[in-house]
Structure 1
Amino acid sequence: MSTSFERYQKRRLISSYFSVVISISLVLFLLGLLGLLVLNTKKVADHFKEQIALTVYLKDNAKDVEIEQLKKSLAMAEYTKTSVFVSKEQAAEEQSKEIGEDFMDFLGYNPLQNSIDVHMKADYVDSEQIDKIASDITAKNFVDEVIYDKPLIALLNDNVKKISFWILVISGVFTFIAVLLINSSIRLAVYSKRFIIKTMQMVGATKSFIRRPFIWQSVKLGIIGAVLALIGMGIVLFYLNKSFPELELLRDSTLLIGLFVGVFLMGIFITWLSTFFATSRFLNLKTDELYY
């Protein structure tokens, strides 16, 4: 009979530990994913900014030497990520493919111009800086005009600011919720042993002596949960980097290591703190209050 009861208690204890570990790992996993999102918000925003092209149209009477000088100066400019020269013949060929017929047969000539497509570095993609850059390029007498999507740039910068703000707000809220969830799981685990705590206290055990095994057990569960969360984060990060290599998610290894270490330490710290306060609460209760 006693053996059966002991087995039941053991299964119940293992089930309790399992639920605590799962709760901790899921919460830390989601918190880690949110951390990855926060770290890579600027990188994703920069990726979209660098897709916007500044197109420089050249006059038909522009000399080859002038075009070469402009190509080199744009390629070496501090604001340039990539620059590509598109001849009027290439532009006509691409246009014909898009419309499905050769428009030059109808017109009898090629109305398009030689151009240079400049993709700028993300830090320079804002209306004021691009206006200045466009004005400097347009000042050259062999440049016809410089075109870029000004409304799109303004909209993109505005949305990036809004998204960054709300991600920070959500991160703060989610961190608070994560602490509450882990704390609740730990409190439930300690609550099931409240009578053991009080019994130890009644026979003369000190508070620190009683707390020690509970805290150590919770910290071990926190470590296991954190390791499971980190494994999940690593798998997600691997597949995201494989699916979106242009974002270079693994490039900033220092930040990633810091995030992983932070999640691991958070799992330990929250479980330690929650167990400390949970055991303190039951240590300070009177025996009659344990039943409520």
Structure 2
Amino acid sequence: MSSSFDKFQKRRLISSYFSVVLSIFLVLFLLGMLGFFIINSKKLADDFKEKIAMTVFFKNEANDTILKAFDAELKKSPFAKSYVYVTKEAAAKQHTDIIGEDFLEFLGENPLQNSFDIHLKADYVVKDSISKIESNLRKNAMVSDIVYDKQLVNLVNDNIKKVSMWILIVSVFLTFIAVLLINSSLRLSIHSHRFIIKTMQMVGATKSFIRKPFVTRSLKLGLLGAGLAILALIGVLIYVQTNFPNLGILDDKLLIGLVLLAVLGVGILITWLSTYFATQRFLNLRTDDLY
């Protein structure tokens, strides 16, 4: 009879530990993913901005000397991330490939112009900066026209501001939920030992002596949950890097290391604080209140 009861208690204890570790793991994993999303959100936003092209068309009178001079100017410019020179012949071939017919046969001549497709650095893809760049480029007398999607530029910047605000709100909310979930799991675990705590106190054990094994056990569970969360996060990073290498998610190893350390630190800190205050609560309760 005693043996079966001991086995039941052991299974109950293991189940309690498992639920605590699982809750810590899930919460810290979600916080870690949020951290990675935050540090990579600017990179993703910048990458999207730098895909917006500004096309500078030149008049037919612009000779090779003028085009080479403009090419050299772009190389020295602080705003150009990359650019491609597109001849009017190459542009005509692109149009023919797209529409499936050679429109030059109908027109008899090529109406297109030589152009430069310029991809600006992300910091310059804002309304004021891109307008100044456009104004400066138009000072060249051989520039026929400059085309880019102004509405898309404004839309991207407005949406980035909105998304950044919501990321901040969600981060605060999830952090609060994380603290509550881990705290609740540990409180429930300690609640099952409330009679042991009070018995030890009644026979003269000090509060620090009673609290120590509970804090030590919770820290071990916190370390285990945090360790599993870190391993899972590293697995996700490797998976994303393998399948989406263009994102360069592993480029900033320092920030990645800081996020992983933060996950470990949060796991230790929350478990320690939750266990300390939970045991303190039961230590301060009267015996009648335990029921």
- Partner of residue 65, structure 1: 65
1:210 aligns with 2:239: no
- Partner of residue 228, structure 2: 228
After TM superposition, the structure 1 = structure 2 runs for residues 70-109 of structure 1, keeping only pairs within 5 Å, are 70-109=70-109
Q: For each residue in 1:171-224, what CA deviation from the matched residue of structure 2 results, as whole angstroms up to 9, or x when unmatched?
A: 000000000000000000000000000000000000000000000000000000
AA in 2 matched with 1:213: P
- How far did residue 158 of structure 1 move? 0.4
- Partner of residue 268, structure 1: 268
1:185 aligns with 2:188: no
- Partner of residue 173, structure 1: 173
- Partner of residue 256, structure 1: 256
CA RMSD of aligned residues (A): 0.8
- How far did residue 75 of structure 1 move? 2.6
1:117 aligns with 2:117: yes
2: CA distance, partners of 1:104 / 1:66:
26
For structure 1, list consecutive stretches of 5 or more residues without a partner in the other structure.
none
- How far did residue 235 of structure 1 move? 1.2
- How far did residue 71 of structure 1 move? 1.0
- How far did residue 246 of structure 1 move? 2.2
Deviates more, 1:224-233 or 1:243-252: 243-252
For the residue of structure 2 that corresponds to 1:43, the secondary structure is helix
Deviates more, 1:134-143 or 1:184-193: 134-143
Relative to the length of structure 1, the TM-score reads: 0.98
1: CA distance, partners of 2:240 / 2:50:
20
1: CA distance, partners of 2:53 / 2:74:
13
- Partner of residue 33, structure 2: 33
AA in 2 matched with 1:53: A
Q: For each residue in 1:61-92, what CA deviation from the matched residue of structure 2 results, as whole angstroms up to 9, or x when unmatched?
A: 10101101101211331111101000001100
- How far did residue 47 of structure 1 move? 0.7
- How far did residue 241 of structure 1 move? 2.1
For the residue of structure 1 that corresponds to 2:213, the secondary structure is helix
Among all aligned residue pairs of Structure 1 and Structure 2, give the percentage whose two residues are the same amino acid: 56
Deviates more, 1:69-78 or 1:89-98: 69-78
For the residue of structure 2 that corresponds to 1:65, the secondary structure is helix
- Partner of residue 142, structure 2: 142
For structure 2, list consecutive stretches of 5 or more residues without a partner in the other structure.
none
- Partner of residue 201, structure 1: 201
Aligned residues between the structures: 291
AA in 2 matched with 1:109: E
- Partner of residue 280, structure 1: 280
After TM superposition, the structure 1 = structure 2 runs for residues 144-159 of structure 1, keeping only pairs within 5 Å, are 144-159=144-159
AA in 1 matched with 2:158: D
- How far did residue 238 of structure 1 move? 1.4
- How far did residue 251 of structure 1 move? 1.0
